[in-house]
Structure 1
Amino acid sequence: MQVTETLAQGLKREFKVVLPAADLATRLEGQLAEVQAKARINGFRPGKVPVAHLKRLYGRSIMADVVQEAVNEAHRKIVEDNALRLALEPKIDFAGEKDELEKAFEAQADFAFTVALELLPKIEVGGFDDIEIERLVADVGEAEIDEVLNRLAEQNRTYAAKEGDAAIAENGDKVTLDFVGKIDGEPFEGGAGQDVDVVLGSGRFIPGFEAQVEGMKIGESRTLSLTFPENYASAALAGKAAAFDVTLKSVAAPAEVKIDDDLAKAFGLEDLAKLKDSIRSNIERDYDAASRRKWKRALLDALDKKYAFDLPEGLVAQEFDTVWRKVEAEQSRSGRSYEDEGTTEEAARSDYQKIAERRVRLGLLLAEIGEKAGVKISDEEVSQALIERARSFPGQEKIVWDYYRKNPQALAEIRAPLFEEKVVDHIIGLIKVTDKKVSKDDLLKIADEDAEEAEDEASPV
């Protein structure tokens, strides 16, 4: 096998591989000899089938295997002999005239093909002491804990059935209803319900529905005249006038809300103090996550500016295709055009090309930093993340689990963000970080605005 480098430009390499006809013939004969030893063909004794006969029957199929083995061997040889780090799988081109290829398949001519490769860039990581970011910090106030406590108490509120003359629906009562909605006298899909519970004044139904139920007595029926909001989720109902035939089946008055140890026990905690501690921890976790979104974006921005190196065109093209498919899917879902967004398709493609380049650059950089730092993701960590992913699909947990476990590429999508977060945590310990106290509202506002801007570009995975 003769291997000759024909191109070395940037991250691109090409090699011409020639497998002499004599070598092809030798390989083919070796394969035919193995087949002869095992072949069982009617009319011939085991192991005595003439090679010429086997060649007529299986020669082309065996030669295809010989060629594939030669391609794989050439690939390994090129990578090992030149110590290459590939960005993508190689591209094989069996260039040549049809007659020449046919002769090669008959082992009557040399077999030649080219191997095109794209390499990973060499990245000099260096230090990070020139990077400085600001980390927003917000304290959890008692008012925020009390707000959550009140919400939990409201969710845990009990109701006492009303009877006799007092059994009239009022704002704040929990009522049980049967109803049928109609547009132009005809029932519409999703507009009916039986034994539906609703707290009047909760805003669960469309505007005006709950208010018109107030004053009804148990067993009473009414027809409510309403109009669906113009921005209603269902376009078929938005802005439409509707009539609802409603029957009140029961009504219960709200009991006094108590925030005490019994409330804590209803949520599986020992006492009110433990419930407050749990609420504080949850809020702190939310604030830390919001702050992390902000400072992580700032860190990635700094890394993007600090490092410049050649990018594998194939990786960038793959990333662009992924991003662009999401853009087109969102346009299809929303019905908005480039003109609606004040741009053109050409300008949008240019912007998303830059986003794709950024994502590839940061992905390669973080991978290099993580490798040099010895960052590892354990199987246990992957399994725990997979469990959390499966839990987000209630009733389909086993299907989701099996899908990822049987698909290494899909499982890599679970591992990649875990690796990224660990690398980010490693870097944050090496740079200068200044904490800045802000209010809860400022923290959440800044983090949310930043998250919207960075939705497509902040994270490389």
Structure 2
Amino acid sequence: MQVEETQNEGLKRGYRFTLPAADLAAEVDQKLREAQPEVEMKGFRKGKVPMAMLKKQFGPRVLGDAMQQAIDNALRNHLESSGDRPATQPKVEMQGGESWKEGDDVVVNVEYEALPEIPEFDLTKIKLERLTVTAEDAAVTEALENLAKNAQNFEDRKKGSKAKDGDRVVIDFKGMVDGEAFEGGTAEDYPLVLGSKSFIPGFEDQLLGAKAGDDIEVKVTFPEDYGHPVLKGKDAVFETKVKAVQEPKPAEIDDELAKKFGAESLDKLKEQISERLEAEYAGASRAVMKRALLDQLDDQVKFDLPESLVEAEAHQIAHQLWHEEHPEEHGHNHGSIEPTDEHKSLAERRVRLGLLLADIGQKAEVKVTDQEMTQAVLTQARQYPGQEREFFDYVQKNPQIQQQLRAPIFEDKVVDHIAETAKVEDKTVSKEDLEKAVEALDTL
């Protein structure tokens, strides 16, 4: 196979591979001779079929296989000798196409973008701050108060008291559409917390100000996206009897509250809350430090980027953001979405950092373990209760999904590796300062 370079500009590469007709014919003859001893054909003993008949019977198929094998081998040998790593699948086109005939040389044009050489970078030059926050007593107390509120009880208000937002009313109700009761629209002694938005929009509002003993006719309209198809968009009337109005009473912050949440005592519950808060602070701090690290890498390490990768990433970003802005559109029949300059700039950053982190991780021999992958699959599977086994099977059969799960784990491990090498200074800050730093991530 003869190889001629046709393009070498930036990362773009082009080559013309020529397989002489004589070499191709010799390869076909060789394959037919290798197969001849095993071929049986009517009128001939096994292994005695003449070469001319083999060529007529099997020649075209063997010719096609030989051509494909020759092209594949030539491309593989070229990539090995050149050291090029294509950014995407190389474009391979046979010159002449359908006009090619047996006896002609096989000429193939190959085009691809090579992945760039990643420049060496001294990771010790990176300087980072790790924000640390201690769980203060006030934060622990606030968390305890929230737990007590969630564990609240309700007690009857004084006779004649009007129901307020946050109160619980105990009601009997019977719902009717077009004068007829409907399935699931009737209940007795139902405890409804006003403001919980657990009922049809407008239902709870009409019970504000109600007193025990009141009979109220609640009129509502079922939403157009209501789960029961028969009731979608229907007007309904609920004959409602208010049997009790109860006010919320937060639970006492004591050992009994602690036991409700699985702790031995109040002191143990406080320790658990403190540990949980500091773990949350550490996670937020890590996100802030990771952004600072990536910003420095993006700013200090420059190299050419494959246009094909940037273009694909820009289109993906544009498509994703469009769907976030149009949550009502679940399909993809929305026409072409052209990336903006902002999308392209973000795509360049993502591609650059992706290639850089991959290179750093490879050189540092960062690996994603089977245990880490299993944990990632388990985490995802929890989003499909009752279908965990089907999800596992789906992941095992889909390499692309496996890569999507592996990529963020790999990235985080590379970031940890860089942070271990970089100069990191711990800085104690307040919870409010950390919150501001986290909020700033969305504005950068």
State the TM-score bracket (shorter-chain normalisation): 0.7 to 0.9
Cα deviations across residues 279-317 of structure 1 (Å, max 9, x unaligned)? 222222222222222222222111111011111122212
Q: Structure 1 residues 25 and 313 mapped into 2: Cα distance closer, same or farther (>3 Å)?
A: same
Shift in Å, 1:256: 6.2
* Alpha-carbon contact 2:131-2:285 (below 8 Å) kept: yes
- After superposing the two structures, state which structure 1 stretch, 277-286 or 206-215, moved more: 206-215
Q: Which residue of 1 is the match for residue 347 of structure 2? A: 356
Q: Which residue of 2 is the match for residue 321 of structure 1? A: 315
Q: Distance in 2 between matches of 1:389 and 1:252?
A: 43
* Alignment of 1:401 onto 2:400: no
Shift in Å, 1:92: 0.9
Q: Distance in 1 between matches of 2:23 and 2:179?
A: 81
Gaps of 5+ in 2: 227-232, 330-336
Q: Structure 1 residues 442 and 394 mapped into 2: Cα distance closer, same or farther (>3 Å)?
A: farther
Q: Which residue of 1 is the match for residue 151 of structure 2? A: 156
Cα deviations across residues 333-356 of structure 1 (Å, max 9, x unaligned)? 368xxxxxxxxx87x621111111
Cα deviations across residues 51-104 of structure 1 (Å, max 9, x unaligned)? 4444334332322221221121012110112222332222212122643x222x
Q: Distance in 2 between matches of 1:110 and 1:186?
A: 85
- After superposing the two structures, state which structure 1 stretch, 66-75 or 394-403, moved more: 394-403
Q: Which residue of 2 is the match for residue 109 of structure 1? A: 104
Question: Equivalent residue of 1:429, what SS?
Answer: helix
* Alpha-carbon contact 1:2-1:18 (below 8 Å) kept: yes
Shift in Å, 1:357: 0.9
* Alpha-carbon contact 2:218-2:240 (below 8 Å) kept: no
- After superposing the two structures, state which structure 1 stretch, 384-393 or 196-205, moved more: 196-205
Q: Structure 1 residues 211 and 121 mapped into 2: Cα distance closer, same or farther (>3 Å)?
A: same
- After superposing the two structures, state which structure 1 stretch, 148-157 or 270-279, moved more: 148-157
Gaps of 5+ in 1: 235-239, 336-344, 455-461
- After superposing the two structures, state which structure 1 stretch, 255-264 or 268-277, moved more: 255-264
Q: Which residue of 2 is the match for residue 237 of structure 1? A: none
Q: Distance in 2 between matches of 1:293 and 1:207?
A: 41
* Alignment of 1:390 onto 2:385: no
* Alignment of 1:198 onto 2:197: no
* Alignment of 1:453 onto 2:439: no
* Alpha-carbon contact 1:169-1:175 (below 8 Å) kept: no
Q: Which residue of 1 is the match for residue 300 of structure 2? A: 306
Q: Structure 1 residues 334 and 429 mapped into 2: Cα distance closer, same or farther (>3 Å)?
A: same
**What does 1:274-293 align with in structure 2 at a 5 Å threshold?**
274-293=268-287
* Alpha-carbon contact 1:20-1:111 (below 8 Å) kept: yes
* Alpha-carbon contact 1:175-1:252 (below 8 Å) kept: yes
* Alignment of 1:12 onto 2:12: yes
* Paired residue type of 1:128: L
Question: Equivalent residue of 1:86, what SS?
Answer: coil
Q: Structure 1 residues 404 and 7 mapped into 2: Cα distance closer, same or farther (>3 Å)?
A: same
Q: Structure 1 residues 192 and 350 mapped into 2: Cα distance closer, same or farther (>3 Å)?
A: farther
Cα deviations across residues 332-382 of structure 1 (Å, max 9, x unaligned)? 4368xxxxxxxxx87x62111111111110111111122222222211111
* Alpha-carbon contact 1:264-1:275 (below 8 Å) kept: yes
Q: Which residue of 2 is the match for residue 61 of structure 1? A: 61
**What does 1:20-419 align with in structure 2 at a 5 Å threshold?**
20-39=20-39, 45-96=45-96, 98-99=98-99, 101-103=100-102, 108-158=103-153, 170-171=163-164, 172-173=167-168, 175=170, 178=173, 180=175, 194=187, 197-202=191-196, 204-205=198-199, 206=201, 209-210=204-205, 212=207, 215=210, 217=212, 221-225=215-219, 244-248=237-241, 253=246, 257-333=251-327, 349-419=340-410
* Paired residue type of 2:391: V
- After superposing the two structures, state which structure 1 stretch, 131-140 or 320-329, moved more: 131-140
* Alpha-carbon contact 2:124-2:421 (below 8 Å) kept: yes
Aligned length: 425
* Alpha-carbon contact 1:223-1:243 (below 8 Å) kept: no
Shift in Å, 1:35: 4.5
Give the root-mean-square deviation of aligned CA atoms.
3.8
Q: Distance in 1 between matches of 2:381 and 2:138?
A: 35
Question: Equivalent residue of 2:92, what SS?
Answer: strand
* Alpha-carbon contact 1:94-1:113 (below 8 Å) kept: yes
* Paired residue type of 2:150: Q
Q: Distance in 1 between matches of 2:205 and 2:275?
A: 37
TM-score (norm 2): 0.81
* Alpha-carbon contact 1:386-1:401 (below 8 Å) kept: yes
